[in-house]
Amino acid sequence: MSTPSRSGVLGANVDTRVEKFTESVSFDRRLYAHDIVGSQAHARMLAKVGLISGDECREIEQTLSEIRQEIEQGEFHFDPALEDIHMHVEHALVERLGDVGRKLHTARSRNDQVSTDLRMWTREAIDTIDRRLADLMAALVARCERDEGVILPAYTHLRRAQPVLAAHAYLCHVERLARDRGRLADARRRVNVLPLGGGALAGTSLPIDREMVRRELEFDAVAANSLDTSSDRDFVAEVTFAWTMIAEHLSSWAEEWILWSTTEFDFLALPQEFCTCSSMMPQKINPDVLELVRGKTGRLVGNLMSLLTLLKGLPPAYNRDLQEDKEPLFDSFDTIDACLELAAAIVAGAELKQESIAERLEAGFLDATTLMEHLIGLGVPQRTAHHAVGSLVAMAAERGVALAELSLEEMRSVDPALAVLDERVFEFLGTRQAVAAFASFGSTSPERVAEQVTRWKQELGI
């Protein structure tokens, strides 16, 4: 492939160091299919409005399809001197069709062309990640039924706090992932706006039909301001933020399951095909995949910061700085896509160590809050009940017993507020009774959790 001539305004050939510095085809070649599909739609529009003939349009469309096939089969030659994928495709077209190929760029700038291609790629990437999120949510909901009735200690400040159903813990992550899907769906509306026809920055004097191109390329709307659309990369930053939030949520899940899989917690056995061994210590099984899911969050945060810094202070219309938008976007997609795929497999393959959990479930006075709320139901003010139960916990801890192992007389002797207690108190003590006592919407009540599992199964179609 020969190097194309430069614009007539420049009298000198480009320095080879500049070619290397400015090329982007090494990473933006992944836009080739979107560039070709967008160019074919543009050609059909040009034919409709009479700027090219029907025969010329068919030649252009056919030749672009041949170029796409060559790229997909690995037969296409890439030359850094041609800068980006858009110039590669156009140059190949001109080499084969001559002046007919040169007509394709009528009423189009690389500014609106690049933005169009990137938006088409981004909406496909959003749809891919949405499917990954749905798969992970389905895996978590499936675990709810698989581990039905299992109770876990839940933690605040990494201290045992209250008992919850394992399903409630799984649904915590489902709710987070659902918000992630919502963010992506909302961002997709702003992604799916057609820039093509905005030209370099001011539009065109030629009689183009942007609405036709919008329909052909399945955009929801046409960008209303050509000056804005040539530089708009809000959608890149917004989608990268949405992917970064997914990574934040995955990092939280990974940390929780890393803790659960330790000897100290002993709640969870991770699928060994997603673990590694120590190079020195023969007994070690390390949760490397979960640790990398946690660690790669920093990579996405870095990509987001890179984009926000890139966009800071840019004047309206296109600036070459915007070439730097793609690598952070592509890398964030690749990273979160891989993390989600592995997360679903780990969720499906892990096993709760129910005997180990049950052995220590009564440790930590997980039923103390339920006892306090029982007192409130008997008319004791919350702060008074809180103090009284705290004193009761202190006595039980000193004796090395659970609250349910204290007699009614012992309980009443600790604080005057506890005098209202009768034998019914034992219906609220112990972790299983404490879980059964929950009633509020959104709580770990078995009935409420069952309702949420049913809801999510319906929403996810499983």
Does some domain include residue 51?
yes
Range of the domain at 336: 111-200+218-245+297-359
d(CA 118, CA 233) in angstroms, rounded, equals 10
Choosing from 157, 205, 279, 407, the catalytic residue is 157
Does some domain include residue 274?
no
Respond yes or no: is residue 249 known to be catalytic: no
* Beta pairing, strands 151-156 & 159-165: antiparallel
For 447, the 3-state DSSP assignment is helix
Does some domain include residue 11?
no
12 pLDDT tier (thresholds 50, 70, 90): low
255, pLDDT greater than 50: yes
Examine the domain organization and report whether 119 and 52 are in the same domain. Answer: no
* Contact (CB, 8 A) for 224 and 193: no
Examine the domain organization and report whether 227 and 375 are in the same domain. Answer: no
pLDDT of res. 16: 85
Does some domain include residue 8?
no
Does some domain include residue 260?
no
pLDDT of res. 19: 87
Respond yes or no: is residue 278 known to be catalytic: yes
What are 160-193's pLDDT values in tens digits?
Answer: 999 999 999 999 999 999 999 999 999 999 999 9
Choosing from 26, 53, 65, 278, the catalytic residue is 278
445 pLDDT tier (thresholds 50, 70, 90): very high
d(CA 114, CA 120) in angstroms, rounded, equals 10
CATH of the domain at 445: 1.10.40.30
10 pLDDT tier (thresholds 50, 70, 90): low
278 pLDDT tier (thresholds 50, 70, 90): confident
In Å, the largest CA–CA distance within the chain is: 100
Q: What is the average per-residue pLDDT within 359-367?
A: 95
119, pLDDT greater than 70: yes
Examine the domain organization and report whether 156 and 128 are in the same domain. Answer: yes
Examine the domain organization and report whether 233 and 128 are in the same domain. Answer: yes
Q: What are phi and psi of 286, to 5 degrees?
A: -105, 140
Q: pTM (2 decimals)?
A: 0.94
416, pLDDT greater than 60: yes
pLDDT of res. 9: 63
What are 25-48's pLDDT values in tens digits?
Answer: 999 999 999 999 999 999 999 999
CA quadruple 319, 320, 325, 330: dihedral positive or negative?
positive
Looking at per-residue pLDDT, the higher value among 274 and 9 belongs to 274
Examine the domain organization and report whether 162 and 311 are in the same domain. Answer: yes
d(CA 296, CA 312) in angstroms, rounded, equals 25
Q: What percent of the chain has pLDDT over 90?
A: 93
7, pLDDT greater than 60: no
CATH of the domain at 142: 1.20.200.10
Last residue of a domain, one of 342, 359, 376: 359
4 pLDDT tier (thresholds 50, 70, 90): very low
Q: How many domains does the chain have?
A: 3
Examine the domain organization and report whether 54 and 149 are in the same domain. Answer: no
Total Cβ atoms within 10 A of residue 107: 20
Does some domain include residue 38?
yes
1 pLDDT tier (thresholds 50, 70, 90): very low
What are 304-324's pLDDT values in tens digits?
Answer: 999 999 999 999 999 999 999
CATH of the domain at 84: 1.10.275.10
The mean predicted confidence, pLDDT, of the chain is 95
Examine the domain organization and report whether 102 and 132 are in the same domain. Answer: no
Containing 250, the helix (H) or strand (E) segment is: helix 234-260
Does some domain include residue 267?
no
Q: What is the average per-residue pLDDT within 284-305?
A: 96
Q: What is the average per-residue pLDDT within 11-16?
A: 74
